[in-house]
Structure 1
């Protein structure tokens, strides 16, 4: 056979390139790019493979609604014995219930798991969930069924099932049972990593969050965050507690209360919130007050007896007065008047101060200095004093009342709350206040909820305004080498490596791109990935030791057509299964974009991730597993599903079942009712089927079956170059006649070219076992005799039926 030249492409590490670049043979990414990359991911070492697909974990909760009570009663104590009903709620009829909530439930002493919600079905009382504990901290306590499961109840109650350790009383603002409506909720997914071996996914919906551990539902907590606020939700988690923030709600605290099924929530007890001027009319300004203590000889035989003849100088804010002398008498009135005039003559002091004296004790006198008067009230002054003409007398100062300009708390019910937060150096950092959008504050070191800025020690609270105009708002707070603030217009970092109340933080503007609200900033090996303010570009910010600043670079310019209009973002770090990190990005149109990142090897590729449904949200948990919230059609109605992405799966929403004996009837497929699915039955790929009554029927019985929806992969090459010499091209139709594909562990592939539909390529060879599933092959296949002509000469790699697919190189032979 005569060897024929061809165009070889061994790398897809540039991913899908936007159409404007399809003729840019002058850039290196052209030779590692694709015209379309869908449901595949580039392999950094060369070629591509199927992107991860998903496993069904559960149905996401619809909007909850309270059930009206026909009557209610309570017996809050005191109690000394068990088997006591604390609260009971009765209903008209027997409604279906999904959850029971006792709001702000607290007890006078701490008790273990001796409280139990129960439901009455008309005949007997039954436990509703597991028993739980209580303590003097008021918090919402909820017990819930898994989403989309209900039970009937004519009444519900809270009962103390055994005796308390001592006399106990309870308090609550009310108990309510809820049912799950047919209305879908907006959704947000966030990780909750309690320990290395205890990682949860928190599914935020309207007013509540559900927790999942692995494949199992763990419990529910209230959040107070309605679904219209979820798009801008910011959460920060440390240890067993997650904090939730939105500018329109009091910050919430959600806590794992010692067990998988016990989750409580309350408002964060914020202490010592700084007051500022928010443009109101205030009458709470505080005058700065100092005492100046004078000591002098008592005996008339001593010089300067009774203070006569001493000269006193006062320093205010580093500005020193002329010395005033105490005349014979002693004439304290003249002395005070002269000293007052000297103080008011200082540049930093306005007229109107109050200065009085008290010399009722022999050998001493006290001057009371109050900085009254317009221009002084509310300011804080530094005052020192000294006797300038003798060592026989002395003066000391005491700051007795700290001046304050008044104002109102920077956050409150009337003024709104912080929009974002983060932890940094044992402080809780809050920012993006609704009333002061460019301000941020740091808690007292080691006291996350105390913001006392009057504490002058280095560990005290800090309040800072960014040097911005009033419209710029802090959208995100991030931590890397430094503390960073991402605003609607720019990016800033605190240059000081240690935050200190004693030193005004040095905040440096490092770039002016602006970031999109509500989309988390993720850390990819020291690079902070964020979405631009117009949601059109993805930026990477990393610290540059030479410039000593964070340099932001766009990383999605070559694929901005699929890396824009982002709705959410999470990063899955490199692992043994992949050498590159995956950047998962659901888009507002329901599709998702998958970014493959290995920056030190110059790998940045973006591909499409599509499915039979709309991807709404994403998160990566503490075990580095990706979870997706996907809206799918089930029986003709929309339903939200929680799914986990796994490399090696072939289907989406995969439901895996094993049977003791081979069966043809495969049940429990409710999440796919009415939809087309495929099955992998004892290794054989069979289908498609349409699920009816939550089941399908196989033609051949099997013991191990995976069923799910299938979306085929698509990889289309870029147009073949037309150059015949440097900067010289010949434009004429091209015919791809042969494709050589170096396959790796592949069991299904289809190839098309010249605008014709792809056709399945048979992989079986003579001698292969015929009574076994198609074995995955690793060899070069040759598809020749392809017909047709096009201007571009493109090849498409896809599948016509599910199977494994990976390749390390592609050779295109064409006539042009």
Structure 2
């Protein structure tokens, strides 16, 4: 057939999986590429060299991986926090590592290296709440750039419930573990009181009801559900429910009043101090226990009377966080409440603080009181993440849920509605918010989904963003960060040490994945505002001079190298130092805007063949673009599987200095006396290169920029012929 010219006007579909190679009928195939490496797609459709990385400094401990967490007080005071093994450092966005006394400022933190990936956090002004299932919720506060504090959150009232008592020092021995009456249970220490008659003893699947108390160490029980064995270790068995006896308050207490709570049989224990008693529609916090029948406390909610409450008409409640119950694994803020969820005992439980009182989880029936609800589903899955977008988004390993308070109403203790939206499940990677969507990683770690509300269906949906690029995230995603400016990009650290970038703009129909190499191993990434753009900071593990090192590196659009430095000399220098971090490595150099080739770092410096006034030095990084075979309709049908021959390829570029197409260099240089002794100018417009040879069902085109120079491709025209 005659020669044809076809144009690819954009790359908004990004890098396409080999599994989609035959889907020439899909529009996104026409807008994709077989490979986009070390490139970024912009929302206008072009593809450009990805930012290089600027060397900031070594991590706190070279032997340990670090986690970067953004801390944004405002757009003028934002930080990347480096969490390492028991230590935190501070990096000022747009600047560098914060020093104190000439050395990096460090704060001791309670988290080990292996615990870092399980941290969940949410920020309110200069305070960050940090949750971990093995630690109480902590509060991190910025006092000054070089003065930070981290402590357990000073809760005035923790969430509480009737959870019984765990005996952490006494073992329990049953005379018989099977169902039946007249069994005996013997404790290794004085554990039982008279009012324990009627309470339950539980361990795993076993349940026994106390029918008589013989002594502090022996009780008679009726086993209603068999126990796994007769011997139960200390800390494993629970005396459930509240003391089963009459309680009489000394007064009809009002909030703040001190009163006495008297039992008709021994029931108070010294460990009850700090617990709450719900009686006569009020609440009392125990402050002291003077005997087994007498305790004093402070009224937290008004009692409606001072009459005696019979057994079962009052409750002894204690904190549901801590000890064997575990601590919340997720945390967020919603409608002036601190929201926490997911503990060992209540894996699908979610708690909300009182309105406007982040440290008070007093539960009640008033709209401003704290609340608790359980996310019900057909499988028990720990709450992995909590987020706030129109509703409280609750992500578990088994599915995605929303919690609302009804139509256009805030959530209150009496109207919380938890609804299942999808059953994909999420993993430990912290989601990011992009517009009105929550971008999360599906349970297996390889699919990235966007959960958002759809008015047409009045529901939340979570479409797969990796459908056409599943190969990029195949190794698994381990962390994500969202860069809103200058382009909308989700950066994802992968388990194979690469980084993936997702340019996403729903309004423009852009969902474009690209892959990125570091001549090393990406371990963490963070995004924080720095002026008019969002800054991306990364932790990169490298092998330098035979040693394993870890560096903090900033993705910088002014850099075209990795782990790079810039230097200036008014008089000019041939010897340039500051390269100790790349000792023994081969680096590329841009001097006064001109590529100088490759040099080996020795003694922390290199020597150029000529004097230079401004240099950029670092590890080479090459952007690569490989196109997909074109498709046109021929007289006999499709061009696929037919022989293809390219005659000429025309590139539309913007502010570009050189490129290589299928091994042939395009320089874009323009001649003239005014250009002598100056760096090669950037070029915008069309440039072409010829090609020869037939290929079976293919038209391989690889476009690279091996020099540390600008590159931005807007469109590609193929002039070609196809024959059967």
Match of 1:486 in 2: 395
Deviation per CA, 1:136-171, whole angstroms, max 9, x where unpaired?
Answer: xxxxxxxxxxxxxxxxxxxxxxxxxxxxxxxxxxxx
CA distance in 1, matches of 2:517, 2:247: 77
Instruction: Please state how far the C-alpha of 1:273 moved relative to its aligned partner.
Output: 2.3
CA offsets, 1:436-463, max 9 Å, x none? 211011112222122122x443222212
Once the two structures are superposed, what CA deviation does each residue of 1:418-474 show, in whole Å capped at 9, x if it has no partner? 111011122111111122211011112222122122x44322221211113563110
Tell me, yes or no, if structure 1 residue 568 matches structure 2 residue 568. no
- Contact map agreement 1:615 1:630 (CA 8 A) in 2: yes
Encode CA deviations 1:307-338: one digit per residue, 9 max, x unaligned. Answer: xxxxxxxxxxxxxxxxxxxxxxxxxxxxxxxx
Encode CA deviations 1:372-423: one digit per residue, 9 max, x unaligned: 9xxxxx997889xxxxxxxxxxxx9737678554465321134321111011
User: Aligned pair in 2 of structure 1 residues 541, 672: CA closer, same or farther (>3 Å)?
Assistant: same
Indicate yes or no: 2:266 matched with 1:266.
no
Instruction: Identify which of 412, 416, 422 aligns with 1:505.
Output: 416
**Aligned counterpart, 1:602:** 509
Distance 1:653 1:285, change over 3 A: farther
> What is the TM-score normalised by the length of structure 1?
0.68
- Distance in 2, Cα, partners of 1:636 & 1:281: 53
Distance (Å, rounded) in 1 between the aligned partners of 2:635 and 2:164: 70
Secondary structure at the aligned position of 2:642 is classed as coil
CA distance in 1, matches of 2:691, 2:112: 60
What secondary structure is seen at the aligned counterpart in 1 of 2:672? coil
Task: Flag the structure with larger Rg.
Answer: 1
Partner residue in 2 for 1:217: 97
**What corresponds to 2:120 in structure 1?**
234
- Contact 2:590–2:616 (8 Å) recurs in 1: yes
Q: Give the drift of 1:726.
A: 7.7
Native 8 Å contact 1:209 1:221 kept in 2: yes
Q: How does 1:3-42 map to 2 (within 5 A)?
A: 4-42=3-41
Aligned to 1:29, the other structure's residue is in SS state helix
Answer yes or no: is the 8 Å Cα contact 2:504–2:511 preserved in 1.
yes
Supply the distance in 1 between the matched residues of 2:26 and 2:12 (Cα, whole angstroms): 14
1:205 matched to 2:110: no
> Alpha-carbon deviation of 1:628?
1.1
Map of 2:695 onto structure 1: 789
Q: 1:743-783: per-residue Cα shift (whole Å, max 9, x none)? A: 2111120001xxxxx23223224436242111111121111
Instruction: State how far apart, in whole Å, the 2-side matches of 1:536 and 1:502 are.
Output: 37
Give the TM-score of the pair, scaled to structure 2. 0.76
Deviations along 1:675-722, whole A, 9 cap, x unmatched? 221122111121211111111111111121111112101110102337
Query: Structure 2 CA distance, aligned partners of 1:432 and 1:730?
Result: 53
Counterpart check, 1:706 vs 2:616: yes
- Structure 2 Cα separation of the partners of residues 708 and 431 of structure 1: 45
Preserved contact between residue 275 and residue 406 of structure 1 (Cα < 8 Å): no
In structure 2, C-alpha distance between the alignment counterparts of 1:239 and 1:600, rounded to whole Å: 31
Tell me what 2:271 maps to: none
Question: Would the aligned equivalents of 1:419 and 1:434 in 2 still touch at CA under 8 Å?
Answer: no
Instruction: Classify 1:457/1:722 alpha carbon distance in 2 versus 1 (closer, same or farther; 3 Å).
Output: closer
Provide the secondary structure at the position in 1 that maps to 2:390: coil
Say whether the 8 Å CA contact 2:158–2:362 is kept in structure 1.
yes
> 1:729 and 1:708, CA in 2 relative to 1: closer, same or farther beyond 3 A?
closer
Equivalent-residue separation in structure 2 for 1:285 and 1:465 (angstroms):
34
Is this contact kept in 2: 1:760–1:799, CA < 8 A?
Answer: no
Distance 1:184 1:638 in 2: 8
Partner of 2:71: 192
Confirm whether residue 759 of structure 1 aligns to residue 664 of structure 2: yes
Change (3 A) 1:400 1:803: farther
Give 1:72's aligned residue: none
Cα 1:401–1:655 shift into 2, 3 Å: farther
Q: Once superposed, what is the RMSD of the aligned Cα atoms?
A: 3.0
Match of 1:620 in 2: 527
Residue 356 (structure 2) aligned to one of 423, 442, 446: 446
- Deviation sequence 1:606-650 (CA, Å, 0-9, x none): 011212111111111133211111112222212111111122421
Secondary structure of 2:477's counterpart equals: coil
Residues 343-742 of structure 1: pairs in structure 2 closer than 5 A = 398=305, 403-406=313-316, 408-453=318-363, 455-468=364-377, 471-496=380-405, 498-517=409-428, 519-564=429-474, 565-575=476-486, 578=487, 581-623=488-530, 624-721=534-631, 723-724=633-634, 728=638, 731-742=641-652
Q: CA deviation at 1:246?
A: 1.1
Tell which deviates more after alignment, 695-704 or 215-224.
215-224
Distance 2:195 2:128 in 1: 37
- How far, CA to CA, are the matches of 2:654 and 2:307 in structure 1? 80
Query: Could you list the runs of 5+ residues in structure 1 that have no partner in the other structure?
Result: 63-182, 288-351, 357-367, 373-377, 384-395, 753-757
Determine the C-alpha separation between the residues in 1 that align with 2:138 and 2:89. Answer: 15
Q: Confirm whether residue 815 of structure 1 aligns to residue 695 of structure 2.
A: no
CA gap 1:269/1:25 in 2 versus in 1, 3 angstroms? same
When residues 803 and 380 of structure 1 are mapped into structure 2, their CA distance, relative to the original with a 3 A threshold, is: same
Q: Following the alignment from structure 1 to structure 2, what is the Cα–Cα distance between the partners of residues 706 and 260?
A: 30
Conserved 8 A contact 1:723-1:730 = no
Q: Which has the higher contact order (CA 8 A, sep 6+)?
A: 2
Query: Aligned with 2:468: secondary structure?
Result: helix
* CA–CA distance in structure 2, aligned partners of residues 720 and 500 of structure 1: 54
Instruction: Answer whether contact 1:563 1:606 (CA < 8 A) is retained.
Output: no
Matches of 1:461 and 1:728, distance apart in 2: 65
Q: Distance in 1 between matches of 2:106 and 2:658?
A: 43
Give the whole-Å Cα distance in 2 for the aligned partners of 1:284 and 1:637.
64
- Counterpart CA distance in 2 for 1:401 and 1:451 is 27
Question: Is this contact kept in 2: 1:286–1:406, CA < 8 A?
Answer: no
Question: Compared with structure 1, are the counterparts of its residues 774 and 502 closer, same or farther at alpha carbon in structure 2 (3 Å cutoff)?
Answer: closer
Distance 1:203 1:730 in 2: 51
- 2:54 is aligned to 55
1:788 and 1:728 mapped to 2: Cα distance?
A: 17
> Per-residue displacement from partner, 1:252-273 (whole Å, max 9, x unpaired)?
222212x211112222223322
Q: Do residues 806 (structure 1) and 705 (structure 2) align?
A: no
Paired residues of 2:371 and 2:413 also in contact (CA < 8 A): no
Deviates further, 722-731 or 10-19 = 722-731
